[in-house]
């Protein structure tokens, strides 16, 4: 399934809707998956969730990685 | 008098920036110390938890609810270590095998983090990895706070605010969050 459910966010015309974005912060990823933040950092630390870094070093979780995580094995 | 910026009193702008960062990252400020405390407890109780798992595994009728992990085997839950994370055991020829298993509600799967024939050793490996994950979290938070401050207060030096925030994040919990905003924070980041 290609759609990641949106969180209860207010629409912000200056930013693309969460479902349209290519990557998410760790907090957004945790909210989308319904897990706590530490679960995401654990997955990153184990290499089970590949991330990239924004210019200032903030971790970004690609949308494709989140979808991969949700795929049944 | 000591201030949260230690060497000199924060400016009004720094105070405002700090308050905004605290508001913006409130959930992280709540979850981080809770996660660290869970690891502290786990490290402190490794022997006790390991023994409980050994005893559960040695009983002829296996106790604990059974889950199927991603290796396809059935595992008996011994102890809940953290939210959705369990120390489990299963019988093998000549003894028992232990594993730390995390349940992922989004996928409905149970994934094995660590496994081995010694419960205490499995727990130690798991605890060590949790410390490393906490370090990843700390580094990411530092970057997030700097980004937040740079976007909110462009052109301003907010390094002391970022330091103070990180100190609050990494020290909260160990001080039972007894210090209110603006009290006795010193600089520096550590776990």
**A73 lies within 8 A of chain B by CB:** yes
What is the C-alpha to C-alpha distance for residues B72 and B66, in angstroms, rounded to an integer? 12
pLDDT of res. B7: 62
Better-scored residue on pLDDT, A16 or A45: A45
Among partner residues A27, A42, A59, which is closest to B133 by beta-carbon distance? A42
Among partner residues B70, B105, B139, which is closest to A34 by beta-carbon distance? B105
Contacts of B129 in chain A (CB under 8 A): 42, 45-46
Residue A64: band (very low, low, confident or very high) from pLDDT cuts 50, 70, 90: very high
Asked if A69's CB is within 8 angstroms of B31's CB, the reply is no
Q: Which of A58, A66, A67 to mutate to test the interface with B (most CBs of B within 10 A)?
A: A58
Task: Please tell me which of A41-55, A59-73, B2-16 the model is most confident about, judged by mean pLDDT.
Answer: A41-55
pLDDT of res. B17: 96
* B146 contacts B129 by C-beta, under 8 angstroms: no
pLDDT of res. B90: 93
The reply to whether ipTM tops 0.90 is no
Give the residue from chain A lying closest to B145, CA to CA. Answer: A58
| Lookup result for tokens 């009728």 | B61
pLDDT value at A19 more than 70: no
DSSP codes joined into one string, A31-56: HHHT--HHHHHHHHHTTSS--EE-TT
pLDDT of res. B154: 95
Q: Both tokens of residue B169?
A: 């994040």
Asked if A70's CB is within 8 angstroms of B27's CB, the reply is no
Q: Both tokens of residue B154?
A: 């462009």
Q: Both tokens of residue B61?
A: 């009728």
What is the C-alpha to C-alpha distance for residues B155 and B78, in angstroms, rounded to an integer? 54
What is the C-alpha to C-alpha distance for residues A3 and A62, in angstroms, rounded to an integer? 14
What is the C-alpha to C-alpha distance for residues B28 and B24, in angstroms, rounded to an integer? 9
**Average pLDDT, integer, range A30-43:** 89
pLDDT of res. A2: 47
* Rounded mean pLDDT for each run of 10 residues along chain B, 191 residues in total: 63 95 94 93 94 85 76 91 91 92 85 94 96 96 96 95 94 52 38 35
* Percent of residues, chain A, with pLDDT higher than 90: 44
Asked if B70's CB is within 8 angstroms of A56's CB, the reply is no
What is the C-alpha to C-alpha distance for residues B28 and B31, in angstroms, rounded to an integer? 5
**A23 lies within 8 A of chain B by CB:** no
| Cβ count within 10 A of residue B72 | 6
pLDDT of res. A71: 78
Name residues 100-159 of chain B within 8 A of A (Cβ).
102, 104-107, 109, 113, 129-130, 132-134, 136-137, 139-140, 142-144, 146-147, 150
Q: Which of A23, A28, A37, A50 to mutate to test the interface with B (most CBs of B within 10 A)?
A: A37
pTM: 0.78
**Average pLDDT, integer, range A40-61:** 92
**Average pLDDT, integer, range A40-67:** 92
């Amino acid at each position: 399934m290609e759609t990641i459910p949106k969180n209860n966010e207010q629409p912000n015309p200056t930013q693309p809707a969460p479902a349209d974005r290519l990557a998410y912060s760790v907090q957004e990823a945790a909210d989308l998956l319904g897990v706590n933040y530490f679960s995401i950092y654990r997955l990153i630390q184990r290499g089970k969730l590949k991330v990239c870094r924004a210019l200032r070093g903030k971790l970004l979780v690609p949308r494709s990685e989140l979808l991969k995580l949700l795929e049944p094995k | 008098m000591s201030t949260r910026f230690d060497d000199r009193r924060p400016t009004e702008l720094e105070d405002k920036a700090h308050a905004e960062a605290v508001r913006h990252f409130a959930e992280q400020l709540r979850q981080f110390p809770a996660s660290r405390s869970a690891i502290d407890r786990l490290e402190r109780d490794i022997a006790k938890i390991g023994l409980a798992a050994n005893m559960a595994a040695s009983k002829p009728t296996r106790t604990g609810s059974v889950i199927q992990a991603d290796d396809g085997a059935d595992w008996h839950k011994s102890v809940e270590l953290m939210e959705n994370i369990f120390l489990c055991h299963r019988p093998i020829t000549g003894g028992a095998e232990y594993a730390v298993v995390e349940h992922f509600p989004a996928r409905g799967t149970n994934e094995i983090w660590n496994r081995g024939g010694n419960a205490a050793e499995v727990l130690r490996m798991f605890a060590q990895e949790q410390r490393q994950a906490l370090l990843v979290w700390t580094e990411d938070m530092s970057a997030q706070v700097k980004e937040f401050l740079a976007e909110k207060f462009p052109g301003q030096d907010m390094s002391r605010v970022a330091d103070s925030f990180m100190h609050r994040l990494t020290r909260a919990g160990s001080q039972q969050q007894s210090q209110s905003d603006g009290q006795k924070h010193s600089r520096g980041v550590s776990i």
